[in-house]
Structure 1
């Protein structure tokens, strides 16, 4: 029985313009990237960087991030792509879904570092500029799970329960109609964390990678409890009683906290320049 106040899932996640398929999942990912680059460009110029440099870095960070996200997903859920009845070529069908956020962050960070090196950009300053916008990109990108009817949570009778079509229900839950809308929870959490991160950055003039560290802590804190709601199964599903991604969140939260404290003690304040080897500013006394 469908609850009258439940959240409906889209009847279609793919539309066709002639022979060209337009996928809701891909649109959400692309829109998230575009918004993040636009916001980062504005923040970069406000910090003293040159217009267009974020777009140049994005040409490195985005493809590296997508590759990293896909590799993380395949590594943690490889039974979907290898073995009897599976096709290896499905590994390349990113538009069907299956991107691991931490693989994306790691791959994107590598690409951004390479792009920053080519432009003589201080990577710590760059990371702090980009960090809040990643939360916005992730908030938008999560709606791709809504289009694909995937990665939802446990059954619920709450008014905002998410309707899932029978064809997309996890085995064992075929007779359940509504589930926890984890995509929506993460979207709201990320946007709230984005606002808080901007306030903390301005209030305490954070720099030297501490904004990025807070991003990791905020995101993993939310991802940890949201992950506990999910019922989808992956190859590395549980380790010592917890989902693998919960352990990942715990480890990354602790690592980010340690880095934050180290950076605060060693480099209080904010980076004096967004560029490496920047020329010192000389004051002329007259």
Structure 2
């Protein structure tokens, strides 16, 4: 039994550090790192497709704040009992740094904002969606580390060798504070590390997307659709293992239902989208204009030289 406990995964002793009066929250730091990684990958991938890098930054300015709002709205709506009712503080619904962002709301509202932006710029959304998809799933994997620091998104109690130990945390007054407190070393329970399962699954989907895109020459938004298919497939079975509080519908967690429905929709969309990859001119019609102008300038130069 002692050897088994030594193999368990320990939770971090705390998830918040203080730089004077300023709190440094591991959850927020992981989210920010994930965003930066996603942006870096998207810039490289969209440029390689023939897109304008400035468009990526414009999309980020829209998607990040709108996505955070959407993610928080989804979380608050599906877990409303945590914020509203007797003994609850509704203002906690605005405390994003303490954790609680629903990826469904973030992708939906953030995607809507980017779609409007691309409509205004008269650019096709598919190539950009394909460029951003691998970065998004990798950012989600990085963000799951924040759940580890917060001791949340865990599964049912277990005695498997890789079980996650959940520590009892207290604040400076000795009161129970699971998010902001520091561990006393006392183990409350040992559970399935579903945050880790999802992290590893997301990394696997990341590499699968890169392989599938190259192997099958995916384009026109099919990489993004395949990302949604892959993510929801993993999220479905991981949700079945989770044991933290959640809104239930017909005996299943709300995210289980959402995963199943979105999986089916994304699969249908994937097969209905056009096959093949876009040319640089299709990614950004301004490329065609630029090449035409360059060709005309070259012709004029040759004519002048012949004279």
Q: TM-score, normalised by structure 2?
A: 0.84
Q: Does 1:95 align with 2:102?
A: no
Question: For residue 237 of structure 2, what is the aligned residue in structure 1?
Answer: 225
Whole-angstrom distance in 1 between the partners of 2:58 and 2:33: 18
Q: Does 1:157 align with 2:159?
A: yes
Contact 2:46 2:127 in 1 (8 A): no
Structure 2 residue runs of 5 or longer lacking an equivalent are 170-177, 180-185, 297-307
Whole-angstrom distance in 2 between the partners of 1:255 and 1:142: 25
Displacement, 1:240?
2.6
Matches within 5 A, 1:1-286: 3-166=5-168, 168=178, 177-234=189-246, 236-237=247-248, 239-263=249-273, 267-272=274-279, 273-275=282-284, 279=288
Whole-angstrom distance in 2 between the partners of 1:254 and 1:102: 15
Q: Superposition RMSD on alpha carbons, in Å?
A: 2.3
The answer to which structure has the higher helix fraction is 2
- Provide the secondary structure at the position in 2 that maps to 1:15: strand
- Provide the secondary structure at the position in 2 that maps to 1:219: helix
Structure 1 residue runs of 5 or longer lacking an equivalent are none
Displacement, 1:242?
2.1
Contact 2:124 2:284 in 1 (8 A): yes
Whole-angstrom distance in 1 between the partners of 2:50 and 2:147: 37
The answer to which structure has the higher strand fraction is 2
Whole-angstrom distance in 1 between the partners of 2:42 and 2:123: 14
Larger radius of gyration: 2
Whole-angstrom distance in 2 between the partners of 1:277 and 1:91: 44
- Provide the secondary structure at the position in 1 that maps to 2:36: helix
Deviating more after overlay: 134-143 vs 175-184: 175-184
Whole-angstrom distance in 2 between the partners of 1:152 and 1:106: 25
| Residue-pair matches, total | 276
Contact 2:163 2:192 in 1 (8 A): yes
Deviating more after overlay: 81-90 vs 274-283: 274-283
